[in-house]
Amino acid sequence: MAVYSVHTREDGTGVADAAFVREGFSFGAFFFGPLWLARHRLWLAMIVWFALWLVLFAAAALNLWTATAALTAVLLLAALLGFEANALLEARLAKRGGRLIDVVAAPALEEAQSAFFRRLAGDDQEPAAFDPGPFS
C-alpha cells in the first residue's frame, strides 16, 4: 500500500486543488532523471544533476577509473535521485508556500484522493481507536 502526502498548492488555492506526492522510491526519476526533473520544474536539481554527470564523464574520459566504477557511480547517482525525488517535490511545494495538510495510505492515487476528500467531508467512518484501559 502506498503512502501519499497531501499538500496545498503553491498558488494558495484551497484543498480542492491539493497536490498528492507519493512517498518512497520514484522509478520515473531513477530511469529518466533529467527528464523527470524538467517535467517537475526542478531546475536547480537538474543543473546539479548535469554537473555531476559532467564530472563523471570527465573522470571516465581521463581514465581515472574503470568502466565498472563509472557504471557503479552512474547507477548510484540515479538511485540517489530515485530515493530523493519525492522529497525534492515536497521541498518545492513548501518553498512556494504549500503546506502539508494530511497523509493518506491507499493502493493508488485515485483511491488516495477519494479517501482524502471523503475524510475532509466527514463521510469517512474511521474505526474507533483501541483503548486498552488502565494497565493492571
Which residue range is the domain that position 74 belongs to? Answer: 2-121
pLDDT, the chain, mean: 87
Cβ atoms 106, 115 nearer than 8 A: yes
pLDDT tens string 34-87: 999 999 999 999 999 999 999 988 998 898 988 889 899 999 999 999 999 999
For residues 21-40, give the mean pLDDT: 96
pTM for this one? 0.78
24 within a domain of the structure (yes/no) = yes
134 within a domain of the structure (yes/no) = no
The strands making up 100-106's β-sheet, listed across from edge to edge, are 19-22, 2-7, 100-106
130 within a domain of the structure (yes/no) = no
Q: How many domains does the chain have?
A: 1
